[in-house]
Amino acid sequence: MDSDKPRNFIQHIIENDLAEGTVKQVVTRFPPEPNGYLHIGHAKSICLNFGLAEQYGGVCNLRFDDTNPETESEEFVNAIIADVRWLGFQWDGEVRYASDYFEQLHAWAVHLIQAGKAYVCELTPDQMREYRGTLTEPGRDSPFRERSAAENLALLEAMRAGEIEEGKMVLRARIDMASPNINLRDPVLYRVKRMAHHRSGARWNIYPSYDFAHGQEDAIEGVTHSICTLEFADHRPLYDWLLDNLPVPARPRQYEFGRLNLSYTVTSKRKLKQLVEEGHVDGWDDPRMPTLAGLRRRGVTPAAIRAFCDSLAVAKTDGVVDMGQFEHFIRQDLNDNAPRALCVLRPLKVTLGNWPAGKVETLHLANHPQRPELGSRELPFGATLYIDRDDFSTDAALSRKQFKRLVLGDWVRLRGAYVIRADDVVRDASGALSEVLASVVPDTLGADPPAGIKPRGVIHWVAAENAVDCAVRLYERLFSAPEPDAGDGDFRAGINPDSLVTLTGCKAEANLGRAAPEVTFQFEREGYFCRDSFCGDRDNGNRLVFNRTIALRDASPKPAGTKPPGTEG
């Protein structure tokens, strides 16, 4: 975390705790529930918790709150561990799990029953909602609230032994049904769930609620500052009540900060799961998803995500951050670090009629214009090459201001190579453009052309001699609406139908055929792209596939099929 930035409220609390000796060592934790993949909102929490521990010489735990076997799996556990590591963070000790503490949590439930502060309730879920009351009306006591400790202990044991059907009984804390905070109106501590757990198997038939487990897990681990998002602020009195009424080994404190909400995005796990299960995207790691796995597959780097998270305020209010701010950090990182390469997305064949037959010249192009330490690469240059179809027009009336590319009868510079002139075109039987016949201007490699020859601009190209075929996926934002889940409407109505366009038959320089997954390149004049990490598994063969990370500059999405003026297809 940047030491020159103004201190946020959590940093002030920690510094005061350390100065007063209330805390000897800062211990934070990142406690995801393994019921889905992590998303960009989680990245803010990860960076905050690990960053605070690092800043103040403390430690941060990675702990899975795996208290609901119905929705959790090892797949999600492994994905989360991989994401945290990918972001560059290392937790203290071994990975921790709520399920590690199930015996202790059960013992503390027994403690509450013996102290007259918990009871087994047989109200149905609908009856519990009715008895709970409203924000303006107090709740009513359950008719089972006055059971004896002995009866409650026997019923809890029957629940644990699998003798009680799901939904028939729950264990509730005995607090205050008239409390203005609904979370204190005898909340549920344990539910019957007769299903196997991904770690503990079939040993348990009852599972603790998140509210019951969370604070006690923090206490077991010696967490000093339990940092949560704002939706847990109303739960803090229950967090404190449980700690105050149990013989816990430590006394953590909970603090809440505003969660990260991004425009043009949804970060609800429930809604992300819906997108996956209904087939709107190709899995949790689809590059259009705001998941860390999706961003990684798209070519976004950990450095860009961490820089973005570090730029965000840690405040006591929620807010929406414009997607453009995140995209700024992605572009800035890739502009500084991504090696350059040439790839023609919509190839058009060009034949240089005056190039010596059979001659292939080796050119050397820098891998980065401002990073000489990244070296250079060799590219062949011969009589046949490819340019982008959108970079050519037969309309000689187009002004240079309108079209700074190749026009029939005019000149253009090829990136890092020669100046060429378009002399004629070849069309197929249907009349469609199939080839440009051109000529090279001699002695223009790294030199200005003779007087009277003024290239319109610079375009990219790929030599036909060793070009590799590839497919390119052009990704746009998954949602067209800035706030897709605002109001009472269906968030899926805002899905952008043009969020993915796949181009096949693209031509790339040979070096890209050896590109490693997750290494992002700037395809000159096109944008930033990385080789897809799963193309071999998911595309029926080991095709060479590149995903567009982001365009070179911010621009609103254009309708499908939009072309520059004067281009032919």
The string of pLDDT tens digits covering residues 380-433 is 999 999 999 999 999 999 999 999 999 999 999 999 999 999 999 999 999 999
pLDDT of residue 150: 98
Segment holding 425, helix H or strand E: strand 419-427
**What mean pLDDT, rounded, does the chain reach?**
94
What is the DSSP code (8-state) at residue 173?
A: E
Q: 362 pairs with which residues across the strands?
A: 380
Q: What is the pTM of this model?
A: 0.93
pLDDT of residue 3: 59
Q: Does the pLDDT at position 464 exceed 80?
A: yes
Dihedral in degrees, nearest 10, Cα atoms 353, 355, 357, 361: -150
Give the helix ranges, DSSP H, for 235-322.
236-244, 269-277, 292-298, 302-311
Contacts of 98 (CB under 8 A, 6+ apart): 63, 64, 65, 66, 67, 105, 208, 213, 217
How far separated are the first and last CA of the chain, in Å rounded? 51
Q: Which tokens go with 359?
A: 């001659």
What average pLDDT does range 520-525 have in this prediction?
Answer: 98
pLDDT of residue 330: 98
The set of catalytic residues is 33, 259, 269
Q: Does the pLDDT at position 20 exceed 80?
A: yes
Q: What percent of the chain has pLDDT over 70?
A: 95
pLDDT band for 63, please (50, 70, 90 cuts). very high
Q: 528 pairs with which residues across the strands?
A: 522, 550
pLDDT of residue 536: 43
Q: Which tokens go with 24?
A: 């000897």
Instruction: For the domain covering 98-207, report its CATH number.
Output: 3.90.800.10
Instruction: State the fold for domain 9-94+209-337.
Output: Rossmann fold (3.40.50)
Ordered by start, the domain boundaries in the chain are 9-94+209-337, 98-207, 349-463
pLDDT of residue 553: 85
What is the DSSP code (8-state) at residue 323?
A: H
Which DSSP string corresponds to 183-210?
Answer: GGSS-EEEEE--S-BTTTBTS-SEEE-H
What average pLDDT does range 30-38 have in this prediction?
Answer: 97
Cα separation, 199 vs 190, in Å, equals: 18
**In terms of DSSP bridges, do strands 347-352 and 433-441 run parallel, antiparallel, or are they unpaired?**
parallel
Cα separation, 62 vs 93, in Å, equals: 9
**For 231-253, what is each residue's pLDDT tens digit?**
999 999 999 999 999 999 999 99
Whether CATH 2.40.240.10 fits 349-463? yes
pLDDT band for 540, please (50, 70, 90 cuts). very low
**For 418-456, what is each residue's pLDDT tens digit?**
999 999 999 999 999 999 999 999 999 999 999 999 999
pLDDT band for 489, please (50, 70, 90 cuts). confident
Cα separation, 197 vs 551, in Å, equals: 44
With left for phi above 0 and alpha for psi between -120 and 50, is residue 88 left, alpha or beta? left
pLDDT band for 567, please (50, 70, 90 cuts). low
**For 182-210, what is each residue's pLDDT tens digit?**
999 999 999 999 999 999 999 999 999 99
**For 308-367, what is each residue's pLDDT tens digit?**
999 999 999 988 999 999 999 999 999 999 999 999 999 999 999 999 999 999 999 999
Give the helix ranges, DSSP H, for 299-377.
302-311, 323-337
**For 249-295, what is each residue's pLDDT tens digit?**
999 999 999 999 999 999 999 999 999 999 999 999 999 999 999 99
What average pLDDT does range 513-530 have in this prediction?
Answer: 96
Segment holding 441, helix H or strand E: strand 433-441
Cα separation, 503 vs 497, in Å, equals: 16
pLDDT of residue 488: 83
Q: Does the pLDDT at position 537 exceed 80?
A: no
pLDDT of residue 2: 59
Alpha-carbon Rg for the chain in angstroms: 31
pLDDT of residue 555: 59
With left for phi above 0 and alpha for psi between -120 and 50, is residue 408 left, alpha or beta? beta
In the block, tokens 């800062």 appear at 26
Quick check: 208 and 83 in contact, CB under 8 A? no
